Amino acid sequence: MTPKEVLSKYWNYNSFKNPQEDIISSVLNENDTLAILPTGGGKSLCYQIPAIILDGLTLVISPLIALMKDQVQNLQSKGISTSYITNELDQNVIGKILDDCQSHKIKLLYVSPERLQSKLFIERLSMVDIALIAVDEAHCVSEWGHDFRPAYHRISRIRHLFPKVKILALTATATEKIQNEIVEKLDLKEPSIFKSSLKRENLSYNVFLSSDKKSDLIYFLKKYHGSSIVFVRNRKLTYEISNFLIDNGFDADYFHAKLTKEEKEKKQYEWTQSNSRIIVSTNAFGMGIDKPNVRSVFHIDLPNGIEAYYQEVGRAGRDNKESVGIYLFNPEDRIQAESIFKANLPSENDFIKISNCLFSQLQIAEGELTEINYQLDLPKFAEKFGLNLKMVIQFIDFLNTKEIIQQKNYSQNSTIRIKVSPHSASLENNRILEYLQRHYPGIFVQNREVSESKMAFDLHLSIGDIRNALHDYFNTDLIDYSDRFLMRFRFLVPRNSTAFTKKLWKDFESIQINNWKRLQAMAYYAEQNAICRERLLFGYFNQKTDENCGKCDVCISKQKTVDFSSIELIDYLKEQPRTQNEILLKFLNSPKEKILAELQFLIDELKIQPIGLDSYKLIE
């Protein structure tokens, strides 16, 4: 079959997106290949189609277990024999999967990069007929990138075991530095490099200085009608801003990672169906959502970095109609982002202290590797040793990505099922169980995701009280309770204090230094107003251009022609004095800067006079 036939047979699509076809040809022609395509550009097909065409197994290295499972399910549903191996599977299952790979029963095998550390796995793999190695999210190999995964460095060793096998590396974000690092660390040989342009003709990138973000948000939402996403820093702000918008007559909703699965699906669905709804969200929103008619994307806090910013704004205008990205910026944003960053940042001392407390709590001796599955109550652990809970969580996550530990129940939410009947006497006069019954339909039948913090808020109790009560009910067999604060894990390597104080700390520190640099690059992007925003963004990804976009705030402010006349403004003020907001709304189609400049000009010319803080009247 040709790639095109495979595309229509299995996916039912009739044409390739540029440059999918070239990438696939390059792979089929046995070149090492690097593909840099924005999110949603269709990278997966670039290895899935060759996998179907080539004889032998395509090994896909992918960093996110959740995404891996999605992809595998999706391919299986199309009748393509696909499997994955993660730490969650037991050795027998893994053995069986590898048998199937060896006997050509499986076309695609997804594995995490850490899997390549297992000698047993490598030994078994060497007996498999491998056709292609696909490295998804290849920027994870870069120590300077935002998702560095040390295990990616092992990929080049695999390739030495299979000198004939070609590599296809795929990523959405690659600065020149990262691109070079991918080629070097994956040991790509004379790779063909494909890069689709970052340019989106119908999208403009804007930064507006804002001292009152809420009222500026309203101003711009009135100016740009239609569906919108407003990205904010934390959960609390999602409630606050969406309520504020609703109070001002907008159709708004909020979204964040701690919602239950049902709530998320409902909110996403309703937003996708609507032409006017504004969703106020943390950066949890948008992955895998393909809504065509998003007219505007707002940021009201400093975005996490230029990579993230470009992707978030990119959710606007998929229908190719004019759309805007607007960052309502204030110099305070940088100061705030820096202080939040520093507040949760463990120092070297904190880092070592947390590791010592952990081993002492679990009673693990130097050099010892236990087989025990531990259970650790993170808030209690932090309290007992006087540690900052956020730092502890960061530390544990870090150990998990480094495969020092293997976390068993990583989940954003706790789940509960009530095990007694709805009429049971034990439910009577119990506020917590009543609450669960009222807010989580179906909780008698199946496990429901719940939020202890929302419960605590609604019932005026502390999260600790709620958890204690729930654990009591669990112990007396009233409920099933999987508590997300109870971390279950085991160690994969023996305790090695020197590693913690030297190598691991250094690794951790270098990740943090890169996060810091990313924050600074983003702040620079927002603070400067001399270079076209689009040029600056693209320059960051090394797509250098001499052309200004002509429509970002920087370009507009440089344009000489004014499409807004002082006569109209004077006419408007003739009727009666007006507030600044009234004036801005009246001339919605003109750039705000121009109006403000015109007002200042008329004041200087003694044509109008400011009254109070923000009103103007005509001088007769």
Q: Which residues have a Cβ under 8 Å from the Cβ of 17 and sit 6 or more positions away?
A: 41, 42
Q: Could you tell me the CA-to-CA distances from 30 to 25, 131, 192, 246 in Å, in that order?
A: 9, 10, 10, 56
Distance CA 145, CA 178 (A): 7
Report if residue 16 touches ligand ADP, rule: CB under 6 A.
yes
User: Hey, what are 195's tokens?
Assistant: 């890069």
| DSSP string for residues in 197-238 | ----TTEEEEEEE-SSHHHHHHHHHHHS-SEEEEE-SSHHHH
Strands 57-61 and 33-36: unpaired
**Nearest residue (CB) to ligand ADP, 16 versus 310:** 16
Distance in Å, CB of 257 to Mg ion, minimum: 19
Number of residues that bind Mg ion (CB under 5 A): 1
CA atoms within 13 A on the CB side of 127: 11
Residue type at 259? L
Site string for Mg ion, 458-477 (x = CB under 5 A): --------------------
20 vs 238, which CB is nearer to ligand ADP? Answer: 20
Of ligand ADP, Mg ion, none, which one does residue 40 interact with (CB within 5 to 8 Å by kind)? ligand ADP
> Interface with Mg ion by CB under 5 A: which range of 40-48, 153-161, 361-369, 391-399?
40-48
List the alpha helices (DSSP H) in 344-488: 348-362, 378-384, 389-401, 431-439, 452-459, 463-475
3-state secondary structure of 287: coil
Tokens standing for 565? 């006349």
Give me the least distance between CB of 243 and Mg ion, in Å please.
35
Task: Report, in Å, the least distance between residue 423 CB and Mg ion.
Answer: 49
Choose one: 14-22, 273-281, 304-312, 362-370; the region binding ligand ADP (CB under 6 A).
14-22
Toward ligand ADP, which CB reaches closer, 20 or 330? 20
Tell me the two tokens of residue 558. 């440089």
Closer of 220 and 310 to Mg ion (Cβ)? 310
Contact partner, 370, from Mg ion, ligand ADP, none, Cβ < 5-8 Å per class = none
Site string for ligand ADP, 122-161 (x = CB under 6 A): ----------------------------------------
Residue 41 contact partner, candidates Mg ion, ligand ADP, none, CB within 5 to 8 A by sort of partner: ligand ADP
- Give bridge partners of residue 579 from the DSSP assignment: 615
**Residue 16 · residue 7 · CB < 8 Å:** yes
CB of 45 to ligand ADP, least distance (A): 5
Query: Residues 32 to 91: which contact ligand ADP by CB under 6 A?
Result: 37, 39-45
Select from 39-47, 156-164, 317-325, 556-564 the region that touches Mg ion (CB under 5 A): 39-47
Q: How many CB atoms lie within 10 A of CB 506?
A: 11
Residue whose C-alpha is closest to residue 141's, from 188, 193, 194: 188
Q: Which does 42 bind (CB under 5 to 8 A by kind): Mg ion, ligand ADP, none?
A: ligand ADP
Residue 203 has a CB neighbour count (10 Å cut-off) of 21
Nearer to ligand ADP, 136 or 449 (CB): 136
In this complex, which beta carbon is closest to Mg ion, that of residue 43 or of residue 267? 43
**Which is closer to ligand ADP, CB of 44 or CB of 86?**
44
Q: Which residue in this structure is represented by tokens 């040989």?
A: 189
In 251-370, beta strands by DSSP E:
252-255, 278-281, 294-299, 323-329
Structure tokens at 72: 């595998």
Kindly give, in sequence order, each residue whose CB lies less than 8 Å from that of residue 168, ignoring residues fewer than 6 positions away.
23, 27, 32, 33, 34, 35, 46, 47, 50, 132, 133, 134, 135
**Please, what is the minimum distance in Å from the beta carbon of residue 67 to ligand ADP?**
9
Identify residues 475-504 at the interface with ligand ADP (CB under 6 A).
none
Which of Mg ion, ligand ADP, none has residue 277 at its interface (CB below 5 to 8 Å by kind)?
Answer: none
How far is 90 from 530, CA to CA, in rounded Å? Answer: 57
Nearest Cα residue to 459 out of 433, 486, 479, 478: 433
Q: What is the smallest separation between the CB atom of 309 and Mg ion, expressed in angstroms?
A: 19
> Which residue, 16 or 489, has its beta carbon nearer to ligand ADP?
16
Q: Which of residues 531-550 bind ligand ADP (CB under 6 A)?
A: none
Q: Which is nearer to ligand ADP, 16 or 309 (CB)?
A: 16
User: How far apart are the C-alpha atoms of 144 and 243, rounded to whole Å?
Assistant: 39
How many CB atoms within 10 Å of residue 163? 7
Closest distance to ligand ADP from the beta carbon of 443 (Å): 34
Residue 137: CB minimum distance to ligand ADP, A: 9
Give whichever of 138 and 532 is closer to ligand ADP, judged by the CB atom. Answer: 138
Give the one residue of 2, 8, 9, 17 binding ligand ADP; rule: CB under 6 A.
Answer: 17
Number of residues that bind ligand ADP (CB under 6 A): 12
In the bound state with Mg ion, the residue whose beta carbon lies nearer, of 46 and 302, is 46
Partner whose binding site includes residue 13, from ligand ADP, Mg ion, none (CB under 5 to 8 Å by kind)? ligand ADP
Nearer to ligand ADP, 37 or 168 (CB): 37
Q: Which residues bind ligand ADP (CB under 6 A)?
A: 13, 16-17, 20, 37, 39-45
Q: Which residues bind Mg ion (CB under 5 A)?
A: 43
